A and B are shown apart, each in its own frame.
With several copies, the nearest count.
Chain A
Amino acid sequence: MSILIDTTTRVLVMGATGAEGSFWTGHMMAMGTHVIAAVTPGKEGERIGDLPVFHSVRRAIDARGQADAAMLFVPPRFTKDAVFECLDAGIRLIVTAADGIPLHDALQIRAASRERGCMVVGGNTSGIISPGKAMLGMFPYWIERVYKPGTIGVMTRSGSLTNEVTSMVVRAGFGVSTLAGVGGDPVPGMRFAEVLRLFEQDSETEAVVMIGELGGTMEEEVADQLASGAFTKPLVAFIGGRHAPEGKRMGHAGAITSGGTGGARYKMERLRAAGALVAERASQTGTLLAQALHR
């Protein structure tokens, strides 16, 4: 099976009664995702299509059985509470789309998920998708053009840029096993290194594309992983922000450097030294992938 999700993953959606939440919940289901319940306090008894709504995660699980994963369309200031509601209910994979989670909340989310061995993907992410199987998040419905099923694992900090890069991957004749958006925040719940560990073990993934950018240390951690031999498949990396001026936040909250570390160039050097194929420009991704897989 693919990493993180597949057709059997039992999914609960929080915030599915809002306009955006209900649109994407419908789309998730249309793509084959096995959504078992929606949770919105005060709306128990209502339905979204066939989907029953419950007051709380615990009530949803009591009625519908345990959920494997949760998709959160919940505003940033309520995200910490929603994540803990899911963690406390024993849900082991949580994806949160919220853009703007307070930093200290994000740190607590990260700490709690690590402590319990659970995975929280995001915030500020489009989510995760295993094309042809399941989706937790908001990926295009013109999906076949950029998210064709295949054997390339993709992990990314971006949204639009991922559409751009992945379309290159598809144009080069490849498809995607799973795409995991770890999000653009300075404190993502799940880090590249953790996704990569799953890709390493995934028999359906032949190679991985990482779409990184300046700021933080996630790409450096991946370089360490490669250097230590913990990841053995080909890795193609694209790192945005090569020319970003120091001290400026480039859009994503996490895309900022100071004091010389965390720069895109530094990351690229570390990755190259560790054996990754590093694209200077997004357009090179497909070529490098073909080269890596000897096609």
Chain B
Amino acid sequence: MKLHEFQAKALFREYGIPVPRGELAESAEEAGSIAQRIGMPVVIKAQVLRGGRGKAGLVRRAASPAEAIDAARAILASDWKVRRVLVEQALEYERELYLSLSPDPVAGAHLILASAEGGVEIEDMARSAPEKIQRVRVESMRGLMPWQARHIAFSLGLKTETARKVAHIIEQLYALYAGRDAELAEINPLFLLPDGSLVAGDAKVAIDDNALFRHPEFSQDSADFDSDIAREAAAEGIPYLQFDGDISLMCAGAGLTTAVYDLVVDFGGTVANYLEFGGPNYRKSVRAMELCIRNAPKVILIVTFGTIARADVMAEGIVEAIGRLRPACPIVTCIRGTGEDKAHEILRAAGLQPLTDTEEAVRIAVALARQAADREAGETGASHGGRA
């Protein structure tokens, strides 16, 4: 679960990591009055979870409350569906540093990365100038030792007093990362101000979804979903991703669904959504199909090869769903695994053709989607010319 910048900065405050003065605004006017209160200049930053907001013009500087209002209005009106902006004092800095904590899956450890040259993507720096990155591995059973924070801070080539402050921030960032089960805690940039103090310019924190039961203080914010359907799927515990293509995937098993996604694209189709109803959700056919239908797909493609997720149970559910939901689009089924003979009987009885080969099923689904598109094109008079 990725946190918004303003949420991450609230955590920073809790752990004693300095952040700029700032407040959250939901309207341009509110942004203006916050700017007034904080004092000029300010930065207006879109609170979105997607990367690249800077390049998209969603982080703007303002030298007056009026400019702040304009900037906030422009950001809130962008096609990124921005709901909130963070209005923050704009700081003059001498230098930008980089700090992060993330897991090291091979060692079963945590990894501290630090650089005296922040403000750029760490991946880019890792490629272009790896020697500028200091790394220290933190044993996961033991946790961070103070000497590790000191060693990394003093190895950045900073003045003694600055290095001591960096060491302290590393300890606090680790406390946050470990205490809140984060999968990432990053400060980029960490500003070094002319007076020698350090302030987190940005804040990226992602909490491990599997550990949310230990942290009831976090709740998925409705703004964090790609769509309403995605939010409903999450509430149901159904893995779901929103796309804008033609074919709704309603499959069982993450690996298989991903492979089917690849085949759809290989064969020239487009995906409306990724949806898994296997594992613990294999009795939720009706709910799964309901979510798929909401995308008005041209085809629903069902592929399963389950062990625990019984084919017959899923087939029954699918037939029930069709009866209740009466989807307008064709349904392609390729259901195998435990109880597949019975499943195939059930599907046949409901007038569906039980396929057994994944590639064949995907090809048929792509063909059906194309026919539907061509039909729509014919109906609306538009021509898809080049398409075969």
Do A and B share a direct contact in the complex (Cβ within 8 angstroms)?
Answer: yes
Asked if B358 contacts A164 (CB within 8 A), the reply is yes
Asked if B255 contacts A56 (CB within 8 A), the reply is no
Within 8 A of B (CB), among A90-113: 99-113
Q: Is residue B373 within 8 Å, beta carbon to beta carbon, of the partner chain?
A: no
Asked if A186 contacts B214 (CB within 8 A), the reply is no
Asked if B154 contacts A250 (CB within 8 A), the reply is no
- From known contacts A141-B338, A251-B257, infer whether A81 and B305 are also in contact, taking CB-CB under 8 Å: no
- From known contacts A82-B147, A111-B109, infer whether A240 and B154 are also in contact, taking CB-CB under 8 Å: no
Tell me the smallest distance from the CB of B148 to a CB of chain A, in Å. Answer: 8
* Binding-face segment, B31-39, B40-48, B138-146: B138-146
Q: Which of A106, A112, A160 contacts B256 (CB 8 A)?
A: A160
Report the bound CA distance from A102 to B307 in whole Å. Answer: 25
- From known contacts A142-B338, A158-B255, A252-B255, infer whether A42 and B164 are also in contact, taking CB-CB under 8 Å: yes
Asked if B150 contacts A281 (CB within 8 A), the reply is no
Report the bound CA distance from A188 to B50 in whole Å. Answer: 27
Interface residues on B, range: 35 or more
Interface string of A42-65 (1 = CB under 8 A from B): 101000000000011111000000
Asked if A251 contacts B210 (CB within 8 A), the reply is no
Report the bound CA distance from A273 to B299 in whole Å. Answer: 38
* Binding-face segment, B8-16, B190-198, B259-267, B283-291: B259-267
Interface size of A by CB at 8 A reads 84
Tell me the smallest distance from the CB of B104 to a CB of chain A, in Å. Answer: 8
Report the bound CA distance from A248 to B2 in whole Å. Answer: 12
Asked if A56 contacts B208 (CB within 8 A), the reply is no
Report the bound CA distance from A77 to B213 in whole Å. Answer: 9
Asked if A244 contacts B308 (CB within 8 A), the reply is no
- From known contacts A55-B151, A217-B106, A243-B262, infer whether A102 and B254 are also in contact, taking CB-CB under 8 Å: no
* Binding-face segment, A29-37, A198-206, A255-263, A286-294: A255-263
Residues of A near any B CB (own CB < 8 A): 20, 41-42, 44, 55-59, 76-78, 81-82, 84-85, 88, 99-114, 126, 138-142, 156-164, 167, 184, 186-188, 191, 211, 213-214, 216-217, 221, 238, 240-245, 247-253, 255, 258-261, 264, 280-283
